[in-house]
Structure 1
Amino acid sequence: MSSLSMQHRHQVQSVLAACPLVPVISIQDPAHTLPLAGALVEGGIRILEVTLRTEHGLGAIRQLRKAFPDVWVGAGTVAQVSQYRQAEAAGAQFVITPGVTRELLEFGMTAHAPLLPGVSTISEMMLGYALGYREFKFFPAEVAGGIPALKAFAGPFPDVSFCPTGGVRRETARDYLALANVAAVGGTWLTPRESVEAGDWAAISELAAGSLADL
């Protein structure tokens, strides 16, 4: 089998280079989609990862692609190829998985939307590496070893970069980003449930801007 194309790698690199912070967005109420995203963008966020953890994810991706053409909009928590296809059909510009299967890795090699595969161990990473992947999501980052693990990964695989997600907080984002093999970090702290439910979009904009300023 041929390896991952450089075009796919360049697309993923472009996404990760657009913004050091990737908000993990789970839409509970479709009415929140546009104001939440607008608040994040106003705060300086240029990447929106909309998870498929709720039934509103695909609809939100469609909305956001139309409303924010200058921002990267992608799908997260994609666990099956069928979901990958649905995400692409909705207009996702990238796809992020919580883990890897051979099927997902192989589908991602020729998919229109490039794949950022999720890994938590060096063995999982090597499955993707063998197919040409060099950019990965590290998940769940804190549980899987955090910064010490990523430092250890850099030894045998200096050409691999990561987007750690899972347990990363505003207070620790800068420490992760200080690592040479970390391109961006993902987190749910950018979309606190209480602020979203209260419709306090100004607070979310301030949180996003403040988190970026901390880096």
Structure 2
Amino acid sequence: MSNQDASGLNSQLRDIKVVPVIAIKDAGKAVKLAQVLIENGLPCAEVTFRTEQAAAAIRNMRDAYPDMLIGAGTVLTTEQVDQAIEAGVDFIVSPGFNPTTVKYCQQRNITIVPGVNNPSLVEQAMEMGLRTLKFFPAEPSGGTAMLKALTAVYPVNFMPTGGVSPKNVKDYLAIPSVLACGGTWMVPNDLIDNEQWDELATLVKEVAQIID
């Protein structure tokens, strides 16, 4: 992972502000979902490896929208890193800090944003050259107060995820070290499963208006 790659991702995340975190059960719905996100102001997706269809969904999104910013989330193993890279992701996200996964991503030259929620984990990540970290689970870990305390000490950027909602997203984004927030509220599984694209579009538009 080069610093140039990481800085490029940081710039894109800061522009987008909110990253939809998606668990998709049917890869056949991925292209339409990507279209809804792009057309309504959130041209980004973190497709989580919580479903067996994750890699196929990423591949479908990438084929249809080459310029979309696509991450793979909930990546827990080096095998999943390989699957995500082969599917065409721009970056990897993990819920925790696993040095094995981090090293493997660095060897494969793909940016990883691992999860941390305390000073010790931030320092371990910094020791491995990382400066962009996921703050997870954000709300249970102390929310904006904890994030401000970490920011006061460490020169790193954060992507808070976990409990971020329309009520608090602006509070997180107001912290200078926060590049973007990850959230699921605008991409609920039932709407994706039932192909309720108009309802999804409304939720995505509302997010884009909140952060505009």
| 3-state SS, counterpart of residue 88 of structure 1 | helix
- Out of 8, 26, 31, the residue aligned to residue 29 of structure 1 is 26
Match of 2:188 in 1: 192
Instruction: Tell me the TM-score normalized by structure 1.
Output: 0.93
- Out of 86, 91, 95, the residue aligned to residue 94 of structure 1 is 91
**CA deviations over 1:24-81 (Å, ceiling 9, x no partner):** 0111122321212211111111211111100000000110101111211121100111
1:106 aligns with 2:116: no
State how 1:7-18 maps to structure 2 within 5 Å. Answer: 7-18=4-15
CA 1:14–1:107: 2 relative to 1, 3 Å: farther
| 3-state SS, counterpart of residue 97 of structure 2 | coil
Residue 78 of structure 1 contacts residue 97 of structure 1 at CA under 8 Å; is this kept in 2? yes
Query: How many Å apart are 1:141 and its aligned residue?
Result: 0.6
Match of 2:39 in 1: 42
Query: How many Å apart are 1:83 and its aligned residue?
Result: 0.9
1:207 aligns with 2:208: no
Counterpart of 1:193 in structure 2: which amino acid? N
Counterpart of 1:144 in structure 2: which amino acid? S
Counterpart of 2:8 in structure 1: which amino acid? Q
- Out of 154, 166, 176, the residue aligned to residue 172 of structure 2 is 176
1:160 aligns with 2:165: no
Structure 2 unmatched ranges of 5 or more: none
Query: How many Å apart are 1:11 and its aligned residue?
Result: 3.4
Match of 1:144 in 2: 141
Query: How many Å apart are 1:193 and its aligned residue?
Result: 2.5
Residue 24 of structure 2 contacts residue 51 of structure 2 at CA under 8 Å; is this kept in 1? yes
| 3-state SS, counterpart of residue 170 of structure 1 | coil
Query: How many Å apart are 1:103 and its aligned residue?
Result: 0.9
Number of residue pairs matched?
A: 211
Residue 37 of structure 2 contacts residue 44 of structure 2 at CA under 8 Å; is this kept in 1? no
Query: How many Å apart are 1:8 and its aligned residue?
Result: 3.2
Q: Structure 1 CA distance, aligned partners of 2:190 and 2:24?
A: 13
**CA deviations over 1:167-195 (Å, ceiling 9, x no partner):** 11122111110111111000110102332
Match of 2:81 in 1: 84
Residue 12 of structure 1 contacts residue 116 of structure 1 at CA under 8 Å; is this kept in 2? no
Match of 1:121 in 2: 118
Q: Structure 2 CA distance, aligned partners of 1:135 and 1:163?
A: 8
Q: List structure 1 segments (4+ residues) > 6 angstroms apart after TM superposition.
A: none
Counterpart of 2:13 in structure 1: which amino acid? L
RMSD in angstroms over aligned alpha carbons?
Answer: 1.4
Residue 19 of structure 2 contacts residue 180 of structure 2 at CA under 8 Å; is this kept in 1? yes
